[in-house]
Amino acid sequence: DAGVTQSPTHLIKTRGQHVTLRCSPISGHKSVSWYQQVLGQGPQFIFQYYEKEERGRGNFPDRFSARQFPNYSSELNVNALLLGDSALYLCASSRTSGRLADTQYFGPGTRLTVL
């Protein structure tokens, strides 16, 4: 089985632009969560979706939004990009009830650089 996939792998944007990051979960997984990892720090929770509904949201501004599609893939959108949004964005999927307590399987991440 393929693991969690994310696209693109790398992205360079300028301040004020908008970006869309994509994630496909492991087949059979219905929960997708997004994390931001700034260099040298642990990942910070952004969103969790389960069965196309938002189940959790971290302490991020409204410029960050996400959605989950009927095939359980997900998009993370960030508007009005700031330099501080430069980070590795990680997507994780899990199999069962959608709680983040389940084993999380992470994708390789999208490296976003904002100039």
Partner 1 sequence: KQEVTQIPAALSVPEGENLVLNCSFTDSAIYNLQWFRQDPGKGLTSLLLIQSSQREQTSGRLNASLDKSSGRSTLYIAASQPGDSATYLCAGFSSNTGKLIFGQGTTLQVKP
Q: Does 60 bind partner 1 (CB under 8 A)?
A: no
What's the CA dihedral at 92, 97, 102, 108 to 10 degrees?
Answer: -10
Interface with partner 1 in residues 24-43 (CB under 8 A): 33, 35, 40-43
Is residue 90 near partner 1 by the rule CB under 8 A? yes
Q: Of 15 and 99, which has the nearer Cβ to partner 1?
A: 99
Contact 85, 76 (CB under 8 A): no
Query: Is 71 strand, coil or helix?
Result: coil
What is the distance between the alpha carbons of residues 40 and 56, in angstroms, rounded to a whole number?
25
Residues that bind partner 1 (CB under 8 A): 4, 6, 33, 35, 40-45, 55-56, 58, 88, 90, 92, 99-101, 103-109, 111
